[in-house]
Amino acid sequence: MGSDNLKPLRFVIVDDHEIVLDSMVRVVQHHYPEAEILAVLTANQALDLVEADTPDAIIVDLSIPESTPVDATSQARVEVGVQLLTTLMERFPTLNIMVQSAHVQALVRLKPSILAHQGGFTIANKSQSMEDMLTKFDWALKGLNYLPSEMRSGLELKPEWLDVLVLAFQQGLQDKAIAAEMNIAHRTVRNYWSKIQDALGVYPEEGKNIRIQTEIRAREEGLID
């Protein structure tokens, strides 16, 4: 069969400010012209869309109302966005998520869930440029992780992540062999790499091999011999 059977990318964007939402849709649509983009204003609308047909990625503002109409019982609150993210990560563990918010610090309480999430998870501050936002969205769509510096207090590598580093850089194993050695799925190994690279502050750069950069940083930190 040909490419006609390939489903177009499908994104959900949730933000309670219609002007911001329209701007986000235009920017993402320009970057991904073939994608289907669904824009909503509330947490309940976003959850309904994801449950109906899981998208390839979702962009979430934290300060959003739970439902419409927005009244005294359903005002835009950071807590609503935090709860939406909690629910999404629980029900859709491989969903690619990007958070765009001016309230990044509120995500600290979700750090254990974010580190355990199997899909991409990136965070962009609303004060940053649209170009930066698109970069973070691209990373999330590729299954990568990015936490801002204020959420990365020192190196926090889980034992299984260290095992991946040792097997890759001290024993020279490729990912499939690492998966077999650790008795885990190949996808899980790829997810571990994303977590490791975020902890080390290593992200994709034009002209640089991210695996080599990861090895250099891991050796600098004394994680491998």
pLDDT one-digit tens code per residue, 189-222? 999 999 999 989 899 998 999 999 999 989 888 8
Could you tell me if residue 134 is inside a domain?
yes
In whole angstroms, what is the distance from residue 145 CA to residue 109 CA? 17
In whole angstroms, what is the distance from residue 122 CA to residue 114 CA? 9
**How many other CB atoms are there within 10 angstroms of residue 224's CB atom?**
13
Residues 168 and 128 in one domain: no
Out of 116, 151, 186, a domain closes at 151
Residues 125 and 185 in one domain: no
8 Å CB contact between 173 and 167:
yes
Residues 145 and 200 in one domain: no
Could you tell me if residue 225 is inside a domain?
no
Domain hosting residue 198, numbered range? 159-220
Average pLDDT by stretches of 10, the chain with 225 residues: 65 94 94 95 95 96 83 76 96 96 86 92 90 94 88 77 93 95 94 92 92 92 83
- Contacts for 76 with CB less than 8 Å, ≥ 6 apart: 16, 63, 64, 65, 70
Residues 145 and 164 in one domain: no
In whole angstroms, what is the distance from residue 67 CA to residue 39 CA? 14
Out of 151, 186, 204, a domain closes at 151
Residues 119 and 50 in one domain: yes
Out of 91, 117, 151, a domain closes at 151
User: What's the domain count of the chain?
Assistant: 2
CATH of residue 173's domain is: 1.10.10
Residues 185 and 208 in one domain: yes
pLDDT value of residue 70: 54
pLDDT value of residue 69: 61
pLDDT value of residue 3: 41
